[in-house]
Structure 1
Amino acid sequence: MIRKENYETQRVDIITQETIIELLPLAQNISEVILKGGAKKMRLNNGNMVLSVSGNKDFKTSTNILEVLRKTPGVTVDQEDAIFIGGRVAPAIFINGKPVVMSPQELQSYLKSLSPEMVESLEVNSNPSSKYDAEFKGIIDIKLKTDTNLGWKGSYIGNVSANRTNYRENSLNLSYNTGKIGYTMQAGYNDGVTIYRYNALQKLANTNVMRTSTDQRDAGSVYTFQSGVEYRINEKNRLGLSFRGNFRSNDRMRLGSLYTTNQDESQLVFHTESQNPNRYRQNNYGLTADYSLQYKSFQLSFLGNYLLVENKQKDDFINKDKQSTELLSYWKSDMLNKVHIYTAQSDATQKIGNATLEAGFKFSSTETGNHIRYDTLSVNNQFAFDPSRSNRFSYKEKIIAGYIAYSHKFDKLQLNAGLRFENTNSISNAITIDSVVSRKYLEWLPSFSANYTFNSSNELSVSYSRKITRPVFSQLNPFRFYFSPLNYWVGNPYLQPSFTDQIKAVYRYKNWTAVLTFGKEKDVMTRYPLYDPKTNVLQYLGTNLPYRKFASVEVAFPVRISKWWNLNSQFTGYYNDEFRPYLDEVFALKIYNYDVKLNQTFTLPKGYTFNIFTTYESKTGNSLYVIKPRYSIDLSVQKSWLDNKLNTKLSFNNIFDSYDQRVEFRHKKIMDNRFIHWWDTQKLMVSAAYNFGSSKYQGREAQKTEEENRAR
């Protein structure tokens, strides 16, 4: 606060680093100027990047938080809306410091229902400490804007995307706050058609050339709801309860062909057409209870979850000769999959001067049952049970975990150390083939970090952590999942968990950041192709690799070119050294690649904001495959109306339709195969968000555990 005689009182909001203070003369009275500091666009929190979202011009034209994440340094969102940190880690998503209770598909829908105006900040943690579940190699914490105003509040968000097909997304959020009790309700309905295409060229062992073509159209609808209540017993105690449901229905038609010629492609050998209609239904039910106590410098919290996931899927596999229309084969599948998850965890925190002591305990139980039956059309034109493909598989897992963490601040230096244990008991039972795999193991997982603040513009952080990654259910289940009649993958119940040791260093200068990460992963879980030259069947099997070494360098530097033009540049370089035994040989290639992002924002007259977002990915791959370079360019414009209650956005994503994935097998003597994955990501999107009501109270969101991430 600055006081000056004979000047008029003015209030100045400091939003950027350049602040101009103007004192207006006044003939009488003593006045003052009040400086109010605004939030920085970017800061560090224990070495984690925290990015402001609401009010940030760089994200103003983004239709949802998923698009914000695409523009966030260190974060990648691929063509199927999967999220990665450092190009390789699928992070856990937190809401207000807690993991969210949603399947991957539900999570994508939820992130699309959040507009940038609803989110205060994003925190990207690419090296979580021992305080967090060992499965969490990375965390993105989304902090929602909150307010405790009394009354009710509502918002509606609608998105329509169109090109070859249309897709619609609708979300309604309501809340009511009495001061003592807060009620929340969310409902959503999405429907439309998505397209995926796959094309491959393979030179077979008998010198023939086979071209594979697949066209997939998926017509789906999703209904979601969530209701919750938060009871503030008093200033120290809070109790919350929420219930949610998610109901997904998909009808997919996959049309394919195998076109095979001789070596010089002058003579047709065979031409097979395939049809694979699919009917998929998923019902999810979740229940969450949480309690928190705040007494002086002591905090205690409890979180309990129950989740039921039921999947039903029916497929028909019909293969015909193209020229004669003769039926070559016909089989059906009927799959039922159920997942039950129970979790309970408690955390306590005690502050002692400049030190903080934390401890926690967690128990989780997961039971998964999968039954898939195949019936094949026999010579007498009757369907008969096919035991060679049918499968019954169950998986049970119990984990007991705990941690203790200590942090101490010494002036500009803060030190953090933690130790976590996780005791795992699991039983995988392939009932059909009478194979039972039982495992019991206890792991100790340490972490350490040091953060030094030189001044308000300079920070340095160094951290270390050890993580464990357990195989997900689909990786363990030894049944066939077909892509085409000659292409499928099979799970491996003998997969071992992998362990990762990682070191990260972060330096910040104002809004510029540089991140160096390197480490080693042992018993890496991966899939590998196995080609049968006699039958031309290509199957993908699961295995553990001995190890791989990795490193990455990330640099993000925003530049304000003028008052109306902001440019954010991001560069990430990757290194991967993979030791891969394969078919009696060892392939150990060192792979270098890089990504570039350019996010340009233009502030135009009459309240319009225009954005150009460009990405480029260099050639990459692994010891077996080469992935060709690709790029995309997005254009978007935003405008607010009705005193900012109505927010409209228009986007044209992937304007050159250039984001397909082209892959080629490296070792031609083993298999000469190249293929292209194409997704319909070139879309025109119209978005409208309308806010109504008198309150801005935001209740707690549903919460998710590591086990729910792996139940897929």
Structure 2
Amino acid sequence: MRLNTKLLAAAAALVLPGTALAQAPASPGVRPPAKPEAATAVEGVTVTSDATAMRTSIDRRSYSVANDLSARTGSIADALRNIPSVEVDVQGNISLRGDANVTILIDGKPSGMFSGDGKADALQQLPADQIDRVEVMTNPSAAFRPDGTAGIINLVTKKTRKAGGNGSVRLNASSDGRYNGGVSGSFNQDKLSLSGDVGYRHDAQKFRSSSERATRALATAPWLESIQKSLAEGDGDSLNLRGNLDYDLDAKTRVSGELRYRGMAMDMDSTETFQGKTAAGIVNRSYQRASNFKMDRDNAEAKATWRRQFKGSEHELVASVGYEVTNSGRDLRAFTDNSFTADEYETSSFSIDQSQTNVALDYSRPLGGNAKLKTGFDLDLGQSNDYDNRGARGPTPGGLTVDPSRTNRFVYDQSVYAGYVTLERPFGDVTVQGGLRVEQVQIDTDQITSRLKNSNDYLRAYPSLFVSYSLSDDQQLRANFSRRVQRPQAQDLNPYRVYQDPFNFRAGNPDLKPQVTDSYELGWQYRKGQAYYLATAYYRQSTKGVTDVVRDLGGGVLLTTKENLGESRNGGLELVANGRLTSTLTYSLSGNLFWNEIDAANLGFARTRSGTAVSGRGSLNWQVTPADFVQISGFTSGKRLTPQGHREPVQMLNLGYRRKVSDKLSFVVTAQDALDTFRDAVITDTPTLRDRTERLPRIRALFFGLTYNFGGGRPRPQGFDFDTGATPVGG
């Protein structure tokens, strides 16, 4: 992908609303103005229009990022690091309550940009300034897909219904060469609503990593030590386009169309050194390696929706059809200067072509006794994934020959046919919601190079149950259950070895089975004014969990592959507290005590391994004056158990200041990773392998930004007023 050429197309997403902005703001037509607390369903996700920092309903918690200054200048990963229960490591890998099997949605629908191998890159490169709220569903109802044993994170994008033309311009730059910006526009008149966004982000990136390793063939043999160090520097760019049209055919019927494009590219140069020793401590393996790595990923979506409202509250039928294409590629050029063997030039490339068609129909209606019924079907028709790996090496750049060990093609096709029903009904102070989702899954894989074909078809049911009990106007008890599944990623099923560097390979496992998790929660909630307290005890039991396993191939070469665990169990206690200390000082705190037990006997390890971890995050917000706002936020995550070792603790502290110049203009200054503590260390410790791999990204920087709102109507609130104590929807 060449982003410089695609910038020429950026205006396409704003052509219609941009033209409309030149007109005088029109008075509202037949479309009624949105009420402050009105809720609208966006593809099965309830989105409300107020700016309450946190809201809850029977099956989710919703957090506003309007007042998160790091989200104003940073990436989606930066915004998610401040959300309770959510962790994002230095490589962009996301987890929810310690479980990395998280499904990410955008406005209630999955996106190819946040699936597969590119999810971590997308979280780190795509800007967060168009995210309005983050919804966390640790136990989603049967109305949602069961994918992701940890639960669902739904990114709700910003929308406006103000009459006439409106828009905003955002610009941010950092002290280390990073910058981003965007333009948003909308126009609403009578039956027509148009909106569009353009966003661009540039990251100057720098990573250091080191690996200290010791291997031996037998548990009684001497250790063979090695050390590997690398430095990578380069640039990453991303471009986002969105255009949306809503048209009211009549007072009860609306048709909508939306186009989205997200693209990103990365160009990195790296240097690497390696040194290996014999049992006597004599160096017998050594090299220096210089390489260039390029990556690009393009995702385009088109979607059409028809919505019909009927008599009665929340009585409607919604039909939608969508088509999505994702193309990504990675290219590597390297030269290895070996001390004990011949020098080598090498190239490798990896490309993925994905496409998917989705058809959905959702129907909801009120029933007697204030009951609510929701039902529908969700069809993923022919999700196709084509993986192409190519590699060559030789003594000179002109003498490269194809390397069969690095060249293969793998095709993965999946179709999912699902139907669901949920029924919610109050019984006095008790509200119960039960649901059932049934899915027929068809998976076909073809390792074309090896001529290996596999198929896996299965029918499964996924129940959910939610119960809430109102102790008083301010307090509630909640209990819930859901069954979730984590299907192996397409590349996880590819048995062919993928080359990473001379001493590291990855390979999938075609025999992987889906992980199934039963999740239970019991919680207490208190809310009065702006004081909000939440305590949730949770427990999850999983079978056939998919995990990384490292194996020694000899000579210091490691193979990382995937295996199914026998069983794993985890649980914990999560505490959340939001409130006001003074009339100008508010706080948000959360902590999580997490326990994990892994039965890895089928992998040759001890019968069970268990451990506990503590994590926490918090922010302090100070409204110094009506125009000046200061924020301190940070998080810490304790030592976490892995099947073959552990991850070491991680911390980060961020600072922010915002100056409101006028109702239309504001300036922001943020300090990211102010104490320079953000890093990742993974420890592997088995009878035949000891390894410590540490990664240190360059995150620390100062950001300077501005936002300017233009057009008619009242500008979007910037979250300065802490005196509004709106109650949460469903709370």
After TM superposition, give the deviation of residue 66 of structure 1 in Å.
5.2
Correspondent of 1:399 among 413, 416, 435: 416
Counterpart Cα distance in 2 of 1:181 and 1:73: 38
After TM superposition, give the deviation of residue 210 of structure 1 in Å.
1.2
1:26 maps to which residue?
A: none
Distance 1:379 1:604, change over 3 A: closer
Cα deviation per residue 1:57-88 (whole Å; 9 max; x = unaligned)?
Answer: x7699646754533332233333444432232
After TM superposition, give the deviation of residue 96 of structure 1 in Å.
5.0
Matches within 5 A, 1:10-89: 41-54=53-66, 63=73, 67-89=78-100
After TM superposition, give the deviation of residue 487 of structure 1 in Å.
0.9
Distance 1:48 1:309, change over 3 A: closer
2:359 maps to which residue?
A: 344
1:228 maps to which residue?
A: 244
1:524–1:547 CA contact under 8 A, matched in 2:
yes
Q: Bigger shift: 211-220 or 499-508?
A: 211-220
2:260 maps to which residue?
A: 244
In the alignment, does 2:227 pair up with 1:211?
A: yes
2:82–2:635 CA contact under 8 A, matched in 1:
no
1:526–1:544 CA contact under 8 A, matched in 2:
yes
Return the letter of the residue paired with 1:395: Y
Matches within 5 A, 1:357-368: 357-364=373-380, 365-368=382-385
2:7 maps to which residue?
A: none
2:14 maps to which residue?
A: none
Corresponding residue SS for 1:474: helix
Correspondent of 1:683 among 701, 714, 719: 701
Corresponding residue SS for 1:586: coil
2:628 maps to which residue?
A: 608
2:19 maps to which residue?
A: none
Q: Bigger shift: 414-423 or 362-371?
A: 362-371
1:29 maps to which residue?
A: none
Return the letter of the residue paired with 1:158: L
Matches within 5 A, 1:382-461: 382-461=399-478
After TM superposition, give the deviation of residue 378 of structure 1 in Å.
5.9
After TM superposition, give the deviation of residue 244 of structure 1 in Å.
2.5
Counterpart Cα distance in 1 of 2:233 and 2:209: 12
1:319 maps to which residue?
A: 336
Counterpart Cα distance in 2 of 1:186 and 1:571: 36
In the alignment, does 2:482 pair up with 1:462?
A: no
After TM superposition, give the deviation of residue 140 of structure 1 in Å.
3.3
1:106–1:246 CA contact under 8 A, matched in 2:
no
After TM superposition, give the deviation of residue 451 of structure 1 in Å.
0.9
2:32 maps to which residue?
A: none
After TM superposition, give the deviation of residue 423 of structure 1 in Å.
0.5
After TM superposition, give the deviation of residue 550 of structure 1 in Å.
0.8
Counterpart Cα distance in 1 of 2:397 and 2:679: 44
Cα deviation per residue 1:607-634 (whole Å; 9 max; x = unaligned)?
Answer: 3222222322222222311222232222
In the alignment, does 2:178 pair up with 1:167?
A: yes
RMSD over aligned Cα atoms: 2.8
Return the letter of the residue paired with 2:168: S
Correspondent of 1:571 among 582, 587, 591: 591
Matches within 5 A, 1:476-495: 476-495=493-512
Corresponding residue SS for 1:562: coil
Distance 1:380 1:410, change over 3 A: closer
2:345 maps to which residue?
A: 330
Distance 1:458 1:583, change over 3 A: closer
1:188 maps to which residue?
A: 199
Correspondent of 1:552 among 544, 555, 572: 572
Return the letter of the residue paired with 2:547: T
Distance 1:223 1:568, change over 3 A: closer
Correspondent of 2:167 among 132, 151, 154: 154
1:655 maps to which residue?
A: 674
In the alignment, does 2:524 pair up with 1:530?
A: no
After TM superposition, give the deviation of residue 352 of structure 1 in Å.
1.1
After TM superposition, give the deviation of residue 198 of structure 1 in Å.
1.4
After TM superposition, give the deviation of residue 203 of structure 1 in Å.
2.5
Counterpart Cα distance in 2 of 1:162 and 1:666: 40
After TM superposition, give the deviation of residue 686 of structure 1 in Å.
1.6
Counterpart Cα distance in 2 of 1:459 and 1:144: 29
Matches within 5 A, 1:109-148: 112-114=128-130, 119=132, 121-137=133-149, 138-143=151-156, 147-148=160-161
Return the letter of the residue paired with 1:601: N
1:665 maps to which residue?
A: 684
After TM superposition, give the deviation of residue 541 of structure 1 in Å.
0.9
Counterpart Cα distance in 1 of 2:401 and 2:500: 22
Cα deviation per residue 1:357-412 (whole Å; 9 max; x = unaligned)?
Answer: 21111211211112222222169972222222210110111111111111111222
Q: Bigger shift: 614-623 or 632-641?
A: 614-623
2:139–2:481 CA contact under 8 A, matched in 1:
yes
Distance 1:208 1:589, change over 3 A: closer
Counterpart Cα distance in 2 of 1:647 and 1:123: 27
Structure with higher strand content:
1
1:694 maps to which residue?
A: 712
Counterpart Cα distance in 2 of 1:252 and 1:146: 36
Distance 1:221 1:531, change over 3 A: same
1:62–1:636 CA contact under 8 A, matched in 2:
no
1:655–1:682 CA contact under 8 A, matched in 2:
yes
1:517 maps to which residue?
A: 538
1:150–1:697 CA contact under 8 A, matched in 2:
no
Corresponding residue SS for 1:452: strand
Return the letter of the residue paired with 1:512: Y
Corresponding residue SS for 1:112: coil
Counterpart Cα distance in 2 of 1:437 and 1:318: 37
Counterpart Cα distance in 1 of 2:614 and 2:93: 19
Correspondent of 2:271 among 238, 249, 255: 255
Counterpart Cα distance in 2 of 1:145 and 1:370: 34
Counterpart Cα distance in 1 of 2:421 and 2:602: 41
Counterpart Cα distance in 1 of 2:203 and 2:426: 53
Distance 1:242 1:124, change over 3 A: same
Return the letter of the residue paired with 1:657: D
After TM superposition, give the deviation of residue 593 of structure 1 in Å.
0.8
Return the letter of the residue paired with 1:532: L
Counterpart Cα distance in 1 of 2:81 and 2:112: 22
Counterpart Cα distance in 2 of 1:536 and 1:319: 17
Count of paired positions: 649
When the two structures are superposed, what TM-score results if normalisation uses the length of structure 2? 0.83
Return the letter of the residue paired with 1:611: Q
Distance 1:113 1:544, change over 3 A: same
Distance 1:60 1:560, change over 3 A: farther
In the alignment, does 2:289 pair up with 1:274?
A: yes
